[in-house]
Structure 1
Amino acid sequence: METVLSVEDLTLAFGPKVIQQDITFDVRRGSIFAVMGGSGCGKSTLLKSMIGLLRPKTGRYTVDGEDYWAGSDAHRTDLNHRFGVLFQSGALWSSMTVGENVALPMQMFTELDTDAIRRLVELKLGFVGMLPAMDLYPSEISGGMRKRAGLARALALDPDILFFDEPSAGLDPITSARLDDLILNLRDGLGATIVIVSHELSSLFRIADSGIFLDAKTKKPIAHGSPVDLRDHCEDPQVHAFMNRTRDEEEKSP
């Protein structure tokens, strides 16, 4: 598979404080790439940089060979229209219904009329099994439903690259498994390329093709490979301990 996202020698920092450095990896088209590591290692910070919310201190990040940070703001905006993002909490507007949340990107970035937008909203919500909740507010639905509604909004502009920040966090095992199925359907049915930040081992083992393991102490990546390969073959003691946690240990992990 060809490379769609490429990160090369990236350093992430807030002022003088370095979060991670020497980050290098490629994400293949149509794959599910996992960003793994313990609490405070910079997983979500890396994701924020990849979606344009944090300029790296040094390094290069390309999308289909185009340097993301070297171009103009307008160029980055064009690239961002290829992205769909599911934030950890779902990040729905509480004053808007589920349907209105999904419609918002279409209203902002397309010239579609009201009827066309409504049909597309119904289509996106139907895909994630949320059409019956179209006229409900976020406060009226469960956490798992909010995640699926957030996913429908992430799909609003038909992106080919999706970024998920801890999509299974706080969900029960059955709801989490259903969300995993949705993610696999996005890859297999729509051909989407997916970058996922997660510490949920069952989900990682089931859906991720490859990944990177970030270390909070050295502030560098210490392993590359699929979650299953890291679990079974990585000799680094920290990676081995993380990837072989018991269910009880996993539930205590942030």
Structure 2
Amino acid sequence: MMPDKETLISVRDLQLSFGPKIIQQNVSFDLKKGSIFAVMGGSGCGKSTLLRSMIGLLRPTAGRIMVDGKDYWAQDDAHRAAINRRYGILFQSGALWSSMTVGENVALPLEMFTDFKPDVIEDMVRLKLGLVGMEHAIDLFPFEISGGMRKRAGLARAIALEPDILFFDEPSAGLDPITSARLDDLILTLRDGLGATIVIVSHELPSLFTIADDGIFLDAITHKPIAHGSPRALHDSCTLPEVTAFMHRSASIPSQTEQKAEQHV
């Protein structure tokens, strides 16, 4: 069990809606510094919608998202933009600009939000790509690399500004098991090496059991969170039928020894 940590983000009584349709309501949880927090649930339960609200793309219809004790959505645009610069985001597809090389994609936030000189930016780009094992692809375009490599390039861009908090939307989606395990290992390395706090939206059980130490389970029927805890704890202890069905659809979960082996593939 990880030691108690300072609360970085508090979500309180959040309601997310599209017009009259409620997606989720009564959502409350704390994100602790240094944790890997999983947003879990079946398709259509509102996982990505919650993520979009946390990163400033969707205003909630009720409730609060507190960042370092300040209500994110009560801030003006300038203050929200300042908070957003503390975030790094990896979207499901990688979301790389197709007309830019991998290196140019990673350099973009540095060019937009810093006053670094071009030679410093180039050094930083190489460093970030090196961290994800992608320095060799610096001059390649997204269409010239594999899906797994695009995810890693997107991750390099997400950490370009050395953010406090990383948000990942289905990072393992579409990846083969070996590539997915390597991405899990990389996420753990970023958490441990860079001190990053991570929010991950996923329904990939092997990844969730391997990396997440806390989480929330969103139910698509009641439109409310119905369980809170690490994926492994929910698998072992939660008796709610909806959670049990989700957590046990895999035949088994990796042991601690198997996790370590996967992480070094």
Bucket of the pairwise TM-score, normalised by the shorter protein = over 0.9
Supply the distance in 2 between the matched residues of 1:44 and 1:128 (Cα, whole angstroms). 24
TM-score, length of structure 1 as denominator length: 0.96
Supply the distance in 2 between the matched residues of 1:86 and 1:172 (Cα, whole angstroms). 18
Measure how far apart 1:67 and its partner are.
1.0
**1:166 equivalent in structure 2:** 170
Q: Is contact 2:172–2:204 with CA below 8 Å preserved after alignment?
A: yes
Q: Is contact 2:13–2:26 with CA below 8 Å preserved after alignment?
A: yes
**How do 1:186-201 residues align onto structure 2 when only pairs under 5 Å count?**
186-201=190-205
SS at match of 1:170: coil
**1:42 equivalent in structure 2:** 46
Are 2:216 and 1:234 aligned?
no
**2:89 equivalent in structure 1:** 85
**2:11 equivalent in structure 1:** 7
RMSD over equivalenced CA pairs, Å: 1.0
Measure how far apart 1:14 and its partner are.
1.1
Are 2:209 and 1:205 aligned?
yes
Supply the distance in 1 between the matched residues of 2:221 and 2:229 (Cα, whole angstroms). 20
Supply the distance in 1 between the matched residues of 2:189 and 2:164 (Cα, whole angstroms). 13
Supply the distance in 2 between the matched residues of 1:246 and 1:154 (Cα, whole angstroms). 30
Where does the alignment leave 5 or more consecutive residues of structure 1 unmatched?
Answer: 248-254
Q: After the TM superposition, which parts of structure 1 deviate over 3 Å for at least 4 consecutive aligned residues?
A: none
Supply the distance in 1 between the matched residues of 2:250 and 2:107 (Cα, whole angstroms). 41
TM-score, length of structure 2 as denominator length: 0.92
Supply the distance in 1 between the matched residues of 2:64 and 2:95 (Cα, whole angstroms). 29
Q: Is contact 2:37–2:212 with CA below 8 Å preserved after alignment?
A: yes
Are 2:60 and 1:56 aligned?
yes
Are 2:113 and 1:109 aligned?
yes
Where does the alignment leave 5 or more consecutive residues of structure 2 unmatched?
Answer: 252-265
**1:250 equivalent in structure 2:** none
Supply the distance in 2 between the matched residues of 1:87 and 1:114 (Cα, whole angstroms). 27
CA-to-aligned-CA distance 1:70-93 (integer Å, 9 cap, x gap)? 110000000000000000000000
Are 2:189 and 1:185 aligned?
yes
Supply the distance in 2 between the matched residues of 1:246 and 1:236 (Cα, whole angstroms). 17
Aligned-pair identity (%): 74
Aligned residues: 248
CA-to-aligned-CA distance 1:4-44 (integer Å, 9 cap, x gap)? 01100000011111110000000100000000000000000
**1:120 equivalent in structure 2:** 124
What is the aligned counterpart of 1:74 among 53, 73, 78? 78
Supply the distance in 1 between the matched residues of 2:202 and 2:173 (Cα, whole angstroms). 8
Are 2:160 and 1:156 aligned?
yes
What is the aligned counterpart of 2:137 among 110, 133, 138? 133
Supply the distance in 2 between the matched residues of 1:14 and 1:106 (Cα, whole angstroms). 34
Measure how far apart 1:246 and its partner are.
2.5
Supply the distance in 1 between the matched residues of 2:219 and 2:116 (Cα, whole angstroms). 45
**2:28 equivalent in structure 1:** 24
Supply the distance in 2 between the matched residues of 1:186 and 1:18 (Cα, whole angstroms). 35
Q: Is contact 2:205–2:250 with CA below 8 Å preserved after alignment?
A: no
Measure how far apart 1:2 and its partner are.
1.0
Question: Partner amino acid for 1:160?
Answer: D
Supply the distance in 2 between the matched residues of 1:232 and 1:23 (Cα, whole angstroms). 23
